[in-house]
Amino acid sequence: MSVQILQRQQSHSTDVPVPEDQVATIVARARQAQSAFAHAGQSTVDTAAAAVAWAIMEPARNRQLAERAVADTGLGNVDDKIRKNHRKTLGLLRDLHGRKTVGVIAQDAASGITEIARPVGVVAAITPSTNPAATPANKIINALKCGNSVIVAPSPKGHDTCALLLSFIHAEFARSGLSADLVQMLPAPVSKAATAALMQQADLVVATGSQANVRMAYTCGTPAFGVGAGNVASVIDNSAALDDAAAKVARSKTFDNATSCSSENSLVVLEGVYAAMLEALAQVGGVLLTAAEKARLQALMWRGGKLAGTFTGQSATRIAELAGLERVRALRPAMLLVEETGVGSDYPFSGEKLSPVLTLYREADFGAAVGRVARLYDYMGAGHSVGLHSSDPRHALQLGLELPVARVIVNQAHCFATGGNFDNGLPFSLSMGCGTWGGNNFSDNLGWRQYLNLTRIALPIAEHMPDEAELLGDYFARVGK
């Protein structure tokens, strides 16, 4: 039974079910479909993953999804969402192509270990309004590739986009002979109670979106993967190719109106190149606000310490219009630039903005720049990633050794690179683990590996028992026995 039919039945029912019972019905169908799917073999799970990929990538459907997403959420822009839907899904297919995820997937004669891939069962996929089609599709493809069924809990704003995506998926499933119950979603209106019930009844939770949802996932009693907050900073050092750095920052910061958690929120620029970098940013559409303009924008963008939703995911020109910055609006900026000296709740521009507003810090040397980024991440965004524009490889290593980040992105447009790109080796994903720094239990890009269990067969091998000197000799040499 499709989600749409379930919704119609419920809308005509005089007995409105409590969320737990309503969700239990959906989970029961998902569990029944998954029990058969889990034993269908590699070819069938590959077919299911491909069907979902084509459901979002087919050009006419991709455009419909992008247009619906912008209309429903008011976030981002259609052309960039079309590109995101296509590239992120194509990249995921590349990562999964030929990947064995059913049955025996590895054998090592030396260790005597055979690894068997096993599904986790029913996956609860919690997804955000910023990517109401791309993120659900990514999670659904990964889950199906590993033999699972999926129930999506979309954000309320993204519900209709997700429902449209599922209608396309079910159409592909009908052509492929697959059960529609393998991929379902919570019916509208999506409530916190229904989402909580889904988390508790599923076998695995994968949560992307608000930190409230991530915290709920980690405390729901079901094994969960959740991601941390974004607040990306990028360092521009004295050896950077400034025009190239500015162009890449602009591409990243303006893509889909900066709705990505991987878009830069701050640039930390060394004193020696600060003036030249400002000029390079101006050449790609950055407009520096005066102190008065910055104060006006800050007063409107944050109300009671919270980022105002009216500014989220809007273009820089629209933000200038909303803030009454007529001088800036007339320039039709690609980005709004604000200079800052402080970090923390008293300096809201130091945090995540989900808009093409970019904060600039000026630092005397690279050590001071590293310290500034550390303070930014102590306030918000620890674990996610840091950008670097430099020709000095030692600086990338220093960032990786000293900062609480899972990724160091060097000389790339950050929002494209962090979640995997065709010109770097990171796996494609729209959900980035932030490690214990960000309150997460993993620091990888969320991918297929998080959606399966492994059973290991251990065979006997020739015994080798080392003696104490073999393992403790260096210790004894240093401190004595």
pLDDT in tens, 53-101: 999 999 999 999 999 999 999 999 999 999 999 999 999 999 999 999 9
Residue 8 has a pLDDT of 35
Band of the pLDDT at 305, cuts 50, 70, 90?
A: confident
Superfamily name and number for 232-415: Aldehyde Dehydrogenase; Chain A, domain 2 (3.40.309.10)
- Confidence at residue 3, expressed as pLDDT on a 0 to 100 scale: 40
Confidence check: pLDDT of 188 > 60: yes
- With pLDDT > 70 as the criterion, what percentage of the chain qualifies? 96
Q: Are 45 and 144 in contact (CB under 8 A)?
A: yes
Q: Domain 3-227+446-456 classified CATH 2.40.30.30?
A: no
Amino acid at 350: S
DSSP output for 329-359: HHT--SEEEEE----STTSGGGS--SSSEEE
The pair of three-digit structure tokens given for residue 204, joined into one six-digit string:
């695995």
Provide mean pLDDT across the span 24-34: 97
Contacts of 6 (CB under 8 A, 6+ apart): 25, 26, 187
Q: Which pLDDT score, from 0 to 100, does residue 403 have? A: 98
For residues 436-441, give the mean pLDDT: 94
With a CB cutoff of 8 Å and minimum separation 6, the contacts of 341 are 347, 361
> Given the structure tokens 């910023």, which residue do they identify?
130
Q: What is the spatial distance between Cα 16 and Cα 12, in angstroms, rounded to a whole number?
A: 9
For the chain, the average pLDDT equals: 94
Tell me what the mean pLDDT of segment 365-389 comes to: 97
> Does the structure show a pLDDT above 50 at 6?
no
**Residue-range domain boundaries for the chain:** 3-227+446-456, 232-415
Q: What's residue 211's pLDDT?
A: 86
Whether the pLDDT of residue 7 is over 50: the answer is no
Say how far residue 421 (Cα) sits from the centre of its chain: 14
Whether residue 10 has pLDDT greater than 70: no
Tens of pLDDT, residues 114-137 = 999 999 999 999 999 999 999 999
In 3D space, the residue among 129, 153, 119, 131 whose CA is nearest the CA of residue 48 turns out to be 119
| Residue 463 burial (10 A CB sphere; 0-12, 13-18, 19+) | exposed
Confirm whether 3-227+446-456 and 232-415 share one CATH topology.
Answer: no
Confidence of residue 443 (pLDDT cuts 50, 70, 90): very high
Q: Residue 451: pLDDT band by 50, 70, 90 thresholds?
A: very high
Please identify every residue annotated as catalytic. Answer: 261
Q: How confident is the model at residue 17 (pLDDT cuts 50, 70, 90)?
A: low
Looking at the chain, the whole-number percentage of residues with pLDDT higher than 90 is: 92
Does residue 49 surpass a pLDDT of 70? yes
Q: In what order do the strands lie in the sheet with 408-410?
A: 286-288, 335-339, 357-363, 264-270, 232-236, 386-389, 408-410
**pLDDT of 453-481, one tens digit each?**
999 999 999 999 999 999 999 999 999 98
Q: How much is the CA Rg of the chain, to the nearest whole Å?
A: 24
Strands (E) in 154-213, as ranges, are 183-185, 204-207
